[in-house]
C-alpha cells in the first residue's frame, strides 16, 4: 500500500535515538493491529525495513532510555502478528534485511524435513551470525491440512530483552534450532530459552540444550498451547495466564455443570407442580433454557480449550457454538427480565401463551443466531474471527469480541433496570405499614435471587475489557461467574 511505502521512507530518514525508537515501536504495533488485509511481499518488506532500522546491535544501549520498558516485547509481538498475515503462493518467500529476516513456505504432512537457514548481522561489522531452524518430519506428519510456516530471525533482539527467567511451565516439543555463538570463548555458558509473550519474560522450560560446541549450539524447543483458558477470556481482549485463575475456572465450571444438571433434573421431576399458572409456566421455561444454555456453553468452553491447535476449522466451529450459547444465555436472561416486568406492570392486558412462547424463543435463540452468523460473515473472510492463542473471538485484528461484549453488557444493563423496578415495587407495597425490617429482608432476598439469575455479576466484565486491568478483576470475574448456577430456579424447585 502507498501509505506504508511513504511511512517507511519517513521512518528510515529519522535518526534511531531513544525517543524515535519508542515512536517507531508504537507505529509498528499500530500497523500490525490495524492492517486487516493479507500482507504481500511488498508490505512485509516495508515493515521489516522499519524494524531493521532500530535493531542494529550498535543501538542496544539506546533501548535502555526508552520510556516504555516493554518496548522490545511489544516490537517482537508486533512483528509476529504482522508476519502471520503474510500470504504466500506455492513458492517459498524470503525477505531479508541486515538485522531481521523472514522466510515462509507452505508445508503439509508429506513435506520432507523442512529447514530454514539464516545468516544475519549483529552489529555494523561485515561478519554475519548464522543459524537454522528445522521442523522434523515426524512433526510434519501430524499436520491434518496444508498450512504455511513462517520463520523469523532477529539476532539482536534477545540481547535487548529482559534477563529474568520464568519457571514451571509445561510445554511440548516441535522444532530444533541451530545457532552460531556470538561469544566463542571457552567459558561462555549456553542456555536455551523462549520468550513468553504473555508474561513478557524468558522461559527456560520451553527449550533445552541438545548440543553445545565451542562455536555453535543446538536447542530443541517445544510448544504446547495452554490446554485450559481462564473464564475471564470471554470478555477480556487479552488472554491472562495465571495458575490461580486457571484453577478457579476449572473448579467453578465443574461445580456449575454439576449444579445445572441437578437443577434440570429437579425441574423435570417437579415440572407439573411449578407450572400451574401461565406466568409460572413462562418463568420456568426461561429458567430451564437459561440452565440449558449455560450448561451447553460451559461444556463447549471446556472442549474449545482442548480443541485449540487441532485445526482452524474445528476451532472456528467450537468458537461459533460457544459464542452462540453464551449469547443465548444472556438473551434468555433478558427474556426472563422482560417477563418479570410484564408480570409486575401489565395487569389488565394479557398475551396468549403461544405468543409469549414465540417471543421468548425468538429472543432466546433467534437473536443469538443472527449475531453469531453476522460475526462469522463479517470477520472470517479476513481470517479475523479467531484469536491466535485460543478458540475464542478475535480482538486485535477485527474486534470480533465486541459481538459478545456489547450484547452481553447491554442485557446486563437492561436487567439492572428490572431489578430496580422489582425493588421499587417491593418497597412500595409496604408503605404506611410498620414492617420496615421485613420489607428490607424481602428486598434483599429479591436482589440476591435476581442478581445471578439476570446475569448482573457479568457487569464486572466491564473492568476486564480494559487492557491494563488488574489481575484482581479477572479473579473476581472468574469467581462470580464460573460458579454461576441456576440458583434461583434451583431454590424455587426445592421449595415447591
Q: How far apart are CA 282 and CA 266, in angstroms?
A: 17
8 Å CB contact between 154 and 99:
yes
Q: How far apart are CA 165 and CA 125, in angstroms?
A: 30
Q: 241: which 3 cell numbers?
A: 495466564
8 Å CB contact between 144 and 311:
yes
pLDDT of residue 486: 46
Kindly list the domain boundaries of the chain, sorted by start residue. Answer: 2-161, 231-495
Q: Is 194 helix (H, G, I), strand (E, B) or coil?
A: strand
Mean pLDDT per 10-residue segment, the chain (496 residues): 80 90 91 82 91 86 82 86 83 85 81 66 60 73 75 79 45 62 70 69 76 79 59 67 73 83 88 83 89 91 80 86 94 88 74 89 96 94 80 85 90 83 69 48 52 60 57 66 52 51
pLDDT of residue 169: 39
Q: 428: which 3 cell numbers?
A: 412500595
- Choosing among 3.30.930.10, 1.20.1050.10, 1.20.1070.10, 3.40.605.10, the CATH entry for 231-495 is 1.20.1070.10
Closest alpha carbon to 360 in 390, 333, 393, 378 = 333
Q: 324: which 3 cell numbers?
A: 452462540
pLDDT of residue 164: 42
8 Å CB contact between 75 and 100:
no
Q: How far apart are CA 418 and CA 294, in angstroms?
A: 21
pTM of the model: 0.62
For the chain, the C-alpha Rg in angstroms (whole number) is 28
Closest alpha carbon to 135 in 106, 107, 113, 111 = 113
Which phi and psi (to 5°) does residue 149 adopt? -115, 135
Ranges assigned E (strand) in 365-462: 386-387, 390-393
Angstrom CA distances, 201 to 56, 154, 163, 236, 381, stand at 22, 17, 8, 21, 34
pLDDT of residue 443: 45
Amino acid at each position: 500500500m502507498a501509505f506504508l511505502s511513504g511511512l517507511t521512507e519517513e521512518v528510515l530518514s529519522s535518526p534511531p535515538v531513544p525517543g524515535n525508537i519508542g515512536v517507531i515501536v508504537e507505529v509498528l504495533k499500530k500497523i500490525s493491529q490495524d492492517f486487516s488485509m493479507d500482507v504481500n511481499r511488498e508490505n512485509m518488506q516495508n515493515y521489516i525495513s522499519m524494524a531493521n532500522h532500530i535493531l542494529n546491535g550498535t543501538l542496544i544501549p539506546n533501548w535502555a532510555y526508552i520510556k516504555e520498558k516493554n518496548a522490545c516485547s511489544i516490537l517482537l509481538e508486533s512483528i509476529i502478528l504482522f508476519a502471520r498475515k503474510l500470504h504466500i503462493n506455492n513458492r517459498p518467500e524470503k525477505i531479508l534485511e541486515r538485522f531481521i529476516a523472514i522466510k515462509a513456505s507452505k508445508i503439509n504432512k508429506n513435506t520432507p524435513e523442512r529447514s530454514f537457514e539464516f545468516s544475519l548481522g549483529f552489529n555494523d561489522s561485515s561478519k554475519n551470525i548464522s543459524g537454522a531452524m528445522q521442523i522434523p518430519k515426524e512433526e510434519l506428519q501430524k499436520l491434518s491440512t496444508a498450512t504455511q510456516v513462517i520463520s523469523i530471525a532477529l539476532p539482536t533482539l534477545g540481547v535487548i530483552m529482559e534477563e529474568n527467567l520464568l519457571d514451571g511451565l509445561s510445554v511440548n516439543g516441535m522444532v530444533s534450532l541451530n545457532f552460531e555463538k556470538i561469544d566463542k570463548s571457552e567459558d561462555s555458558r549456553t542456555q536455551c530459552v523462549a520468550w513468553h509473550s504473555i508474561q513478557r519474560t524468558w522461559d527456560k522450560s520451553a527449550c533445552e540444550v541438545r548440543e553445545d560446541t565451542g562455536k555453535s549450539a543446538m536447542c530443541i524447543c517445544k510448544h504446547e498451547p495452554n490446554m485450559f483458558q481462564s473464564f475471564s477470556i470471554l470478555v477480556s481482549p487479552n488472554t491472562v495466564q495465571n495458575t490461580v485463575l486457571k484453577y478457579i475456572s476449572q473448579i467453578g465450571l465443574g461445580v456449575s455443570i454439576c449444579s445445572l444438571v441437578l437443577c434440570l433434573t429437579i425441574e423435570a421431576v417437579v415440572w407439573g407442580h411449578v407450572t400451574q399458572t401461565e406466568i409460572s409456566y413462562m418463568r420456568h421455561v426461561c429458567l430451564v433454557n437459561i440452565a440449558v444454555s449455560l450448561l451447553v456453553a460451559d461444556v463447549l468452553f471446556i472442549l474449545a480449550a482442548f480443541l485449540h491447535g487441532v485445526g482452524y476449522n474445528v476451532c472456528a466451529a467450537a468458537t461459533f457454538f460457544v459464542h452462540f450459547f453464551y449469547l443465548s444465555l444472556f438473551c434468555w436472561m433478558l427474556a426472563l427480565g422482560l417477563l418479570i416486568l410484564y408480570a409486575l406492570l401489565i395487569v389488565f392486558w394479557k398475551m396468549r401463551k403461544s405468543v409469549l412462547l414465540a417471543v421468548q424463543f425468538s429472543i432466546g435463540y433467534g437473536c443469538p443466531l443472527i449475531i453469531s452468523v453476522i460475526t462469522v460473515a463479517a470477520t472470517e473472510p479476513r481470517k479475523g474471527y479467531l484469536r491466535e492463542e485460543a478458540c475464542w473471538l478475535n480482538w486485535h485484528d477485527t474486534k470480533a469480541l465486541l459481538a459478545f461484549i456489547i450484547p452481553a453488557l447491554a442485557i446486563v444493563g437492561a436487567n439492572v433496570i428490572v431489578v430496580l423496578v422489582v425493588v421499587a415495587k417491593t418497597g412500595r407495597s409496604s408503605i404506611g405499614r410498620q414492617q420496615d425490617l421485613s420489607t428490607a429482608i424481602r428486598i434483599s432476598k429479591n436482589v440476591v435471587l435476581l442478581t445471578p439469575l439476570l446475569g448482573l455479576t457479568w457487569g464486572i466484565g466491564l473492568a476486564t475489557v480494559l487492557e491494563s486491568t488488574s489481575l484482581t478483576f479477572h479473579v473476581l470475574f472468574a469467581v462470580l461467574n464460573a460458579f454461576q448456577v441456576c440458583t434461583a430456579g434451583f431454590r424455587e424447585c426445592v421449595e415447591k
